[in-house]
Amino acid sequence: MMEADAKAVVKTQGQQFCVRTGDVLKVMRYPNTEAGSELELEDVLMYEDAAGVRFGQPVLENARVRIRILENKRDKKVTILKHRRRGGFKRKQGFRQAISVIKVEAVEFKN
């Protein structure tokens, strides 16, 4: 059953997010996916709605979060600076993390 005011804590790509229907998130890139793909996240740690709060041990079996990938891209550049004083040691390095922008389509719990 899908609730309009339901929220859930999901684990995806090694991170945990508190989500509601309609949320847009930036997560580490899902491999082998295209923009417009729909996925279902099954690692739901907590589900909350008007009936109450349910916690998993560690995950809830009947809870699902459906998402849509809006785009796959690279995030802003992160710069790493290393420096040791009075030693003449300086290093500058940077990288851009590959990310997926996702939209939460539905938060569901089936009794």
- Check: CB of residue 74 under 8 Å from CB of residue 101: no
pLDDT at 2 over 70: no
Residue at 90 is within a domain: no
Q: pLDDT of 76-90, one tens digit each? A: 999 999 999 999 999
Count of domains for the chain: 1
Q: pLDDT of 14-71, one tens digit each? A: 999 999 999 999 999 999 999 999 999 999 999 999 999 999 999 999 999 999 999 9
Q: Which residues, in sequence order, are bridge partners of residue 52?
A: 49
Residue at 84 is within a domain: no
Q: What is the pLDDT of residue 37?
A: 96
Residue at 63 is within a domain: yes
Rounded CA separation 68/35 (Å): 8
Q: Which residues, in sequence order, are bridge partners of residue 106?
A: 66
pLDDT at 1 over 80: no
Rounded CA separation 29/20 (Å): 20
User: pLDDT: is 18 or 3 the higher one?
Assistant: 18
**What single letter denotes the amino acid at residue 56?**
G
Q: What residues contact residue 64 under an 8 Å CB cut-off, 6+ apart?
A: 40, 41, 42, 44, 106, 108, 109, 110
| Domain coverage including residue 22 | 7-72+99-109
Q: What is the pLDDT of residue 64?
A: 95
Residues in the chain: 111
Residue at 48 is within a domain: yes
Following DSSP, what letter does each residue of 70-95 receive, concatenated?
Answer: EEEEEEEEEEEEEEETTTTEEEEEEE
